[in-house]
Amino acid sequence: MKQPFRLILLTLLTCSLAASAGAAESAASKPAPVPTAPQAASAPLQKPSGPTSVQQHMRLGHVDIMRIGTESEAGKAGQAELAKLEKRLRASIEAKQKQLEKYKAGIEAKLPSLTPAQREAKSKEFQKKVEEYQKFGMEAKKEFEAKQEAFSDKLFKAVEQASAEVAKAKGLALVVIKRELLYLDNGVEAQDVTDDVIKKIDKK
């Protein structure tokens, strides 16, 4: 959700130049005609006009993504769903961890009565259990991150669509994320349209 925007105001340069050329006249009627000196008629050159700066008035809107995520109905629903998923995955991981600790305690209690070969076998079994626990934890993490990314993408698309509708209704040239605003020229009018975007999202 992003690259900084630089607002550029265009400067128009106008320059005009007019010139005219002359024509030559010659006089004849002698046996050996001799060309007379040409006479040139020229119009005075017009001085080029200097650069004219035209300041364009631009209107833009900005939105607070964090507010949309926590205040919009879609944002609240998504956050609640993620919290529910995180709670379920955490409970599963903790249950697996308790099973692993219990298994380890059982092996340690039997160690004195086990032969070296049996100890080696139990050690391998425990290592396998540890690897299964680690794999389960990684899969749980991937599941949560995938759900989180899907939620973020869905919400951002809703923000984009709502921002476009708000921009058209308010006559805004563009809508950007608030944190990307680093500088605004005097000819730029900026307004916070977060509330308008939230209303648009909630209606849908």
Q: Is the pTM of this model over 0.75?
A: no
Domain ranges of the chain: 58-203
Measured CA to CA in angstroms, residue 155 lies from 95, 141, 158, 176, 183 at distances of: 33, 21, 5, 15, 27
Structure tokens at 43: 């119009």
| pLDDT, tens digit (0-9, with 9 covering 90-100), for 136-190 | 999 999 999 999 999 999 999 999 999 999 999 999 999 999 887 778 788 888 9
Task: Using alpha carbons, select from 49, 50, 24 the residue that is nearest to residue 38.
Answer: 24
Percent of the chain with pLDDT over 90: 63
CB-side neighbour CA atoms (13 Å) of 85: 16
Number of Cβ within a 10 Å radius of residue 35: 9
pLDDT one-digit tens code per residue, 5-32 = 333 322 222 233 333 333 334 434 444 4
- pLDDT band of residue 62 (cuts 50, 70, 90) is very high
